[in-house]
Amino acid sequence: MRIVKERALMEDNPLHQILHPTSIAWAGASNNFQKMGTIQLLNLTKGGFKGAVYPIHPSEKTVLGLPAYRSARDLPEVPDLAVLVVPTRVVAPLMEDLGRRGVKRAIVTSGGFREMGPGGRRMEEELAEVAGRHGMRFVGPNCIGVINERCRLNTTFFPLRDEEPGTVGMASQSGTYVTQTQLYLKNRGIRFSKAISVGNEANIDVIDCMEYLAADEDTRAVLLYLEGIRRGRRFVEVARRIVKNKPVVALYVGGTEAGARSGTSHTGALAGDDGIYNGMLTQSGVLRAGSVEELYAWGITLASQPPMRGRRVCLLSHSGGPVTSMADACERAGLVLPVFSDGLQGRLRELLPATAAAANPVDLTFSIDQAVLAKDIPQRVLESNEVDGLIIHGIMGSSFREILARQLKDFIDVPIQFMEDIDHGLLGELVTFPQRYGKPVLCSSFMEREDNCTRYLQDHGIPVFYGPEKAVQAMAALARYGEMCRR
Amino acid sequence: MRIVKERALMEDNPLHQILHPTSIAWAGASNNFQKMGTIQLLNLTKGGFKGAVYPIHPSEKTVLGLPAYRSARDLPEVPDLAVLVVPTRVVAPLMEDLGRRGVKRAIVTSGGFREMGPGGRRMEEELAEVAGRHGMRFVGPNCIGVINERCRLNTTFFPLRDEEPGTVGMASQSGTYVTQTQLYLKNRGIRFSKAISVGNEANIDVIDCMEYLAADEDTRAVLLYLEGIRRGRRFVEVARRIVKNKPVVALYVGGTEAGARSGTSHTGALAGDDGIYNGMLTQSGVLRAGSVEELYAWGITLASQPPMRGRRVCLLSHSGGPVTSMADACERAGLVLPVFSDGLQGRLRELLPATAAAANPVDLTFSIDQAVLAKDIPQRVLESNEVDGLIIHGIMGSSFREILARQLKDFIDVPIQFMEDIDHGLLGELVTFPQRYGKPVLCSSFMEREDNCTRYLQDHGIPVFYGPEKAVQAMAALARYGEMCRR
């Protein structure tokens, strides 16, 4: 019943058609590859989008090899969506034409509106008026576009990665955070389900997006980048309804004088006092990230891991430094490191070398037995009733091994592939633990995505952070989310 | 005079011979590649160390192809340094033999001492007594070893990168932070000058290391990872003497109950109240990092950039989101974003598109002219008297361009190499600005080291951070260091 209702809500939402068009009219691309609009259209067509695409161009016969149409009137059918990447003054007249042709959904990438002061504000009002008159709903203006990985829809200037759709849905008042960050996210194993750059929010705003992403089945956590919210009361209403079923994380940067000033010239956002926003986010059950990095990191964590049922953490590593860094960070973040019972310590000691510490943190010291680190200890810890979550530092494979193999090549052959198969066998069990035990497992490593173990874990739902304290912060987010859900 | 004095201090320091040996006796390697000691010796010999190496082995004739010696007595000369990777109980007797043979310097990797409780503590005291009797100085026990990039000395289990020596010197109470982090550091363009894992500090401690690194010419910033300091008063004395000539950054993780407990079982460190340590670090003029990431990031920043002479920052980007994130972070970090004078705004507007913001932050919006972003605006901003430092977000080259080229290949050839040459020409000027104007320049980018521009900047002394807020935190460290130097 709930699902049916959510689906109905979703299909009602103006974003549904914008994110699932079967045909798109595109104004502002040409055969000049110096132009943003051309690069955007290229990304759409080369990116695997299967629908019809109709370039609108006043003079060219074809655009990027596609037949072009001189105006909205000449389009061979009424497209589900129009994308406008045209000079500011042309936007409203073109929307008028599109409206008359029966187009109901649009994305306006063009800038030069409210963010430019009074003159731009008037043009934005005119644009909104035209759309209203024709019953059109649109994203933008002054936005970068949208991404729906599921149907390979990408209207931004940044190419899509050739991968499966992800689980993190994002609505952003900055286009950068859905485009330029693609490679950064790739290096951390994070993929979008949907992403929407909302721009000036003249028609569809970040709250509409949050509502849509909450109902979207591919999306398991909703991320918001905010410079300001106009409909504060509505934000709280919608967020409150959503958060117990789907976590929402927000980065709000308009709360300082400098942030507010910068935001105004960026998207004309109406920033407000940091304390008031903080209260609003807390009241709504939205987790507030402190940086772009945390926004994404907590997003993938909440999307992939069960919330903590308490605040008790086990730290596990063969590296004393990182566990000590994590222990310190845990206490600062309000997480608890219980000293394990004699019974559990006994069960762990059976697996540990003599020099190891079993009380929690569990420090294997010089042991390099991956099975102990990545499977046996985790299992015994998680099946106990003594912890609510586990952080492992130092699972690693190919990155160190390949360097070692080069050093060893005069003496022995290191069976790289064989060892990777063993890694993946062990990790194949570890990745099932969060669901099996209902407790989150996070990893920290200084071996990034070039390492087969890091890749395997990230690609199978265990976040791997490049820094021990980051894993702790993400675990603390799972604790806060768990507490919020139980309230 | 100062230099002569520093050099004398350096050569007096017991670490000098440990870091510049011409001959090394090695106990604990064999031809078994499962053994830590073997891997360590392999790294030493394969890593480019030019001195003589004498394996000590009770039965093998050769170890890793080198002639082996049955005992310290049998060594063909008195080596400058001995490295011990042998079982705990063998350490003291072997040190006795080495001492009798006249060896004066050692590194004891073996664990099982103080960190294991009373029995281990007694063995550590015995070890110290033996060394004392023979006038030997040693690093460890329970340490990972040392690195001197300049003479390709690496006694750790992690191979050295095949690169020029760096500018960041590290002394660490965790071996992990000088070994496992090598690839992490590589991905951020950070290289060590020297690195020392101090272990249990039974003889040479982190203060000796700090003193040595302060005098070392290759080292431009000193990093400390601390779980506890035993000689608190001495730490303050030494740090105070050092910091005005060379910045010192410390990460202290023993200040919470959990951190202290973890540290005790790690290196037996004597942790203390966070507030007391904080006072001690502040009093000493040591910058306190909040995470491992900050430790390294601030280290490379302080090693490569002049300190800020005030707190005024210019933020420059073509991405509104990151500049707004940075503006917010600046204010939180106590940095100031001055609104530029009409004169300066006018000079910047000559270079900017109409939609751009010139007041500070300077937001180029959709302009993708790299010369404006990476050279022309920076120059005009830095030569003004209106800022004390500059952060640029979004200089990028090959990473985006190569994806784009793949999309474009049916239509045009993107002249990748030609465009990289242009990038490097522009950046070649930018990297001279910090010295020319006496003001720091930091960058932020979501394009990591796979991008030619990120690589070029990092390799020519401009730190590039993968996250806008991180660049701001590093700039704030430069402001605090500047203030400390002026006091």
3-state secondary structure B139-193: ECCCCCCEEEHHHCEECCCCCCCCCCCCCEEEEECCCHHHCCCHHHHHCCCCCEE
Which pLDDT tens digit goes with each residue over A19-55? Answer: 999 999 999 999 998 888 999 999 999 999 999 999 9
Paired tokens of B185: 């550091």
| CB–CB contact A266 B324 (8 Å) | yes
Alpha carbons within 13 angstroms on the beta-carbon side of residue B389 total 31
Paired tokens of B209: 């290391």
Paired tokens of A431: 């990745």
User: Is B97's Cβ below 8 Å from some Cβ in A?
Assistant: no
Paired tokens of A349: 């000691």
Least CB–CB distance from A259: residue in B112, B331, B412? B331
| CB–CB contact A323 B262 (8 Å) | yes
**List of chain B residues whose C-beta atoms are within 8 Å of the C-beta of residue A259:** 324-325, 327-328, 331
**List of chain B residues whose C-beta atoms are within 8 Å of the C-beta of residue A86:** none
User: Is A292's Cβ below 8 Å from some Cβ in B?
Assistant: yes
Question: Is the pLDDT at A293 greater than 80, yes or no?
Answer: yes
Instruction: Name the residue in chain B with its Cα closest to that of A410.
Output: B64
Could you tell me if B170 and B195 are in contact, meaning their C-beta atoms sit under 8 angstroms apart?
Answer: yes
Q: Which of A297-301, A418-422, B93-97 has the lowest mean pLDDT?
A: A418-422
- Which pLDDT value is given to residue A1? 45
The CA distances from residue A406 to A147, A306, A379, A400, A415, in Å, are 42, 41, 34, 10, 12
Q: Which residue has the tokens 């304390």?
A: A275
Q: Is A81 helix (H, G, I), strand (E, B) or coil?
A: strand
- Which pLDDT value is given to residue A366? 67
> Which of B188, B190, B238 lies closest to B210, judged by CA?
B238
The beta-carbon contacts of B11-17 under 8 Å, at least 24 apart in sequence, are B13/B208, B13/B211, B13/B212, B13/B215, B14/B105, B14/B137, B14/B204, B14/B208, B15/B139, B15/B196, B15/B204, B15/B208, B15/B209, B15/B212, B16/B212, B17/B80, B17/B81, B17/B104, B17/B105
Question: Is the pLDDT at A57 greater than 90, yes or no?
Answer: yes
Peptide bond into A118 cis (omega under 30): no
| Contacts A–B by Cβ distance under 8 A | 254
| DSSP type of residue A33 | T
Instruction: Name the residue in chain B with its Cα closest to that of A448.
Output: B184
Paired tokens of A363: 């420090």
User: Is B48's Cβ below 8 Å from some Cβ in A?
Assistant: no
Least CB–CB distance from A366: residue in B111, B355, B400? B111
Q: Is B341 helix (H, G, I), strand (E, B) or coil?
A: coil
Cα separation, B235 vs B226, in Å, equals 12
Name A279's Cβ contacts closer than 8 Å, sequence gap at least 6. none
From B250's Cα to the closest Cα of chain A, the distance in A is: 13
Cα separation, A203 vs A385, in Å, equals 51
From B17's Cα to the closest Cα of chain A, the distance in A is: 26
**List of chain B residues whose C-beta atoms are within 8 Å of the C-beta of residue A158:** 400
Paired tokens of A26: 């595109």
From A321's Cα to the closest Cα of chain B, the distance in A is: 5
Paired tokens of A13: 């939402």
| CB–CB contact A322 B292 (8 Å) | yes
Least CB–CB distance from B291: residue in A64, A173, A467? A467
Least CB–CB distance from A331: residue in B227, B258, B403? B258
Least CB–CB distance from B319: residue in A180, A255, A327? A180
**List of chain B residues whose C-beta atoms are within 8 Å of the C-beta of residue A294:** none
- Which pLDDT value is given to residue A414? 85
| DSSP type of residue A73 | G
What torsion do the CA atoms of B121, B126, B128, B131 make, to the nearest 10 degrees? Answer: -160
Name B483's Cβ contacts closer than 8 Å, sequence gap at least 6. none
**List of chain A residues whose C-beta atoms are within 8 Å of the C-beta of residue B251:** 325
Q: What percent of chain A shows pLDDT beyond 70?
A: 97
Cα separation, B414 vs B353, in Å, equals 25
Could you tell me if A225 and A217 are in contact, meaning their C-beta atoms sit under 8 angstroms apart?
Answer: no
> What HEC string does A98-144 produce?
HHHHCCCEEEECCCCCHHHCHHHHHHHHHHHHHHHHCCCEEECCCCC
Q: Residue B433: which H helix or E strand, with range?
A: helix B433-437
- Which pLDDT value is given to residue B11? 74
- Which pLDDT value is given to residue A413? 87
Question: Is the pLDDT at A116 greater than 50, yes or no?
Answer: yes
Which pLDDT tens digit goes with each residue over A70-92? Answer: 999 999 999 999 999 999 999 99
User: Is B69's Cβ below 8 Å from some Cβ in A?
Assistant: no
| CB–CB contact B446 A404 (8 Å) | no
Paired tokens of A58: 């006043």
User: Is A405's Cβ below 8 Å from some Cβ in B?
Assistant: no
Question: Is the pLDDT at A9 greater than 70, yes or no?
Answer: no
Task: Work out whether strand A146-148 and strand A153-154 pair parallel, antiparallel, or are unpaired.
Answer: antiparallel
- Which pLDDT value is given to residue B1? 44
Alpha-carbon torsion A396, A400, A402, A407, what sign?
A: negative
Tell me the pTM: 0.96
Q: Which residue has the tokens 């799972």?
A: A478
Per the DSSP assignment, residues forming a β-bridge with B84 are B27, B108
**List of chain B residues whose C-beta atoms are within 8 Å of the C-beta of residue A266:** 320-321, 323-324, 357, 363
Name B386's Cβ contacts closer than 8 Å, sequence gap at least 6. B312, B314, B338, B340, B341, B344
Per the DSSP assignment, residues forming a β-bridge with B81 are B24
Which of A180, A226, A409 is the best mutation test for B, with the most CBs of B within 10 A? Answer: A180
From A267's Cα to the closest Cα of chain B, the distance in A is: 8
User: Is B177's Cβ below 8 Å from some Cβ in A?
Assistant: yes
| DSSP type of residue A357 | B
- Which pLDDT value is given to residue A4? 60
User: Is B418's Cβ below 8 Å from some Cβ in A?
Assistant: no
Which of B196, B314, B325 is the best mutation test for A, with the most CBs of A within 10 A? Answer: B325
- Which pLDDT value is given to residue B34? 85
Q: Which residue has the tokens 């490295």?
A: B83
Cα separation, A454 vs A444, in Å, equals 9
User: Is A273's Cβ below 8 Å from some Cβ in B?
Assistant: no
Could you tell me if A18 and A51 are in contact, meaning their C-beta atoms sit under 8 angstroms apart?
Answer: no
| CB–CB contact A327 B39 (8 Å) | no
Chain-wide mean pLDDT for chain A?
A: 94
Cα separation, B276 vs B283, in Å, equals 10
- Which pLDDT value is given to residue B265? 73
Q: Which of A203-207, A318-322, A386-390 has the lowest mean pLDDT?
A: A318-322
| CB–CB contact A262 B291 (8 Å) | no
Least CB–CB distance from A258: residue in B112, B251, B330? B330
Alpha-carbon torsion A263, A265, A270, A272, what sign?
A: positive
Which of B176, B186, B407 is the best mutation test for A, with the most CBs of A within 10 A? Answer: B176
Cα separation, A79 vs A102, in Å, equals 8
Give the burial class of B285: count Cβ atoms within 10 A of its Cβ; 0-12 exposed, 13-18 middle, 19 or more buried: buried
User: Is A315's Cβ below 8 Å from some Cβ in B?
Assistant: yes
- Which pLDDT value is given to residue A3? 56
Least CB–CB distance from A36: residue in B255, B319, B366? B366
**List of chain A residues whose C-beta atoms are within 8 Å of the C-beta of residue B446:** 176, 180-181, 183-184
Paired tokens of A255: 């709360």
User: Is A112's Cβ below 8 Å from some Cβ in B?
Assistant: yes
User: Is A485's Cβ below 8 Å from some Cβ in B?
Assistant: no
| Strand residues in B357-478 grouped as ranges (E) | 362-363, 389-393, 441-444, 464-465
The A residues from 325 to 344 touching B (CB cutoff 8 Å) are 325-332, 337
Cα separation, B7 vs A334, in Å, equals 47
Peptide bond into A58 cis (omega under 30): no
pLDDT means per 10 residues, chain B with 487 residues, are: 61 91 97 91 93 97 97 97 97 98 97 90 97 97 95 92 90 95 95 97 97 96 95 95 96 89 74 88 96 98 98 95 96 97 96 87 83 96 98 94 87 89 96 98 97 98 98 98 94
Peptide bond into B307 cis (omega under 30): no
**List of chain A residues whose C-beta atoms are within 8 Å of the C-beta of residue B255:** 328
Which pLDDT tens digit goes with each residue over A312-364? Answer: 999 999 999 999 999 999 999 999 999 999 999 999 999 998 778 899 999 98
Give the burial class of A294: count Cβ atoms within 10 A of its Cβ; 0-12 exposed, 13-18 middle, 19 or more buried: buried
Per the DSSP assignment, residues forming a β-bridge with A443 are A392, A464
Instruction: Name the residue in chain A with its Cα closest to that of B338.
Output: A258
| CB–CB contact B183 A447 (8 Å) | yes
- Which pLDDT value is given to residue A476? 98
- Which pLDDT value is given to residue A269? 66
User: Is B321's Cβ below 8 Å from some Cβ in A?
Assistant: yes
End-to-end CA distance of chain A: 23
